[in-house]
Amino acid sequence: MRVISGEQKGLPLKAVPGAGTRPTTDKVKESIFNMIGPYFDGGLAVDLFAGSGGLGIESLSRGIETCIFIEKDPRAIQTIHENLKKCKLDERAEVYKADATRAIKALEKRQARIDLLFLDPPYQKVGYYELIDQFVEKNLLTDDAIILCEHEKGVDLPNTYGSFTLTRQELYGSTIISIYRQEEGKHHD
């Protein structure tokens, strides 16, 4: 695994030791950012089940100003810190050891406005995708926000989460990438 593009292009990333996480392959990561970017002009990203932090780090390398990494596995937290340090991105990142539900409460408390939300929960934990509804209801997403879900082929996600609509879906082997955006004119104030 490595950083594909941007300021930190080519830097290698460590994977989390053990078999608990599935890092997004470089090929899929490149496709993801070609669909949603490929580059950004500032903004806040949240990598909700961050694993080794590959998606959030890639977004920082491509111009996202700050990324909040949320992960509850201590080994993954350690790996994220090591990867951020290696990429010299620790100044632009916040890493929290927390479960996703607690993390959403903390984001709400600080009135976060998220431009890019990565959701790549462990494959057997399908219920976690319902957390997107909380991000929408608590108004944590900007009008132009992009929600990106990585999930298994057998998992059917809804066509909408609040005002966010499934705008693109791509299949890579047994992995599906689903992208949600707000439709023009559907923004709520």
Domain extent listing, the chain: 26-182
pLDDT digits (tens, 9 = 90+) for 43-60: 999 999 999 999 999 999
172 C-beta neighbours (distance < 10 Å), count: 15
CA 122 → CA 37, 91, 94, 176, 185, distances in Å? 25, 28, 21, 14, 34
pLDDT at residue 186 is higher than 60: no
Q: Which CATH number fits domain 26-182: 3.40.640.10, 3.60.9.10, 3.40.50.150, 3.40.50.800?
A: 3.40.50.150
Q: What's the pTM value of the predicted model, to 2 decimals?
A: 0.94
Distance CA 5, CA 18 (A): 27
Q: Angle at CA 177, nearest 5°, toward 59 and 163? A: 85
Q: Categorize the per-residue pLDDT at 187 as very low, low, confident or very high, splitting at 50, 70 and 90.
A: low
Contact between residue 146 and residue 165 where contact means Cβ atoms under 8 Å apart: no
Using CA atoms, how far apart are residues 152 and 141, in angstroms rounded to an integer?
25
pLDDT of the residue at 123: 74
10-26 average pLDDT score: 85
How would residue 189 be classed by pLDDT, with cut points 50, 70 and 90? very low
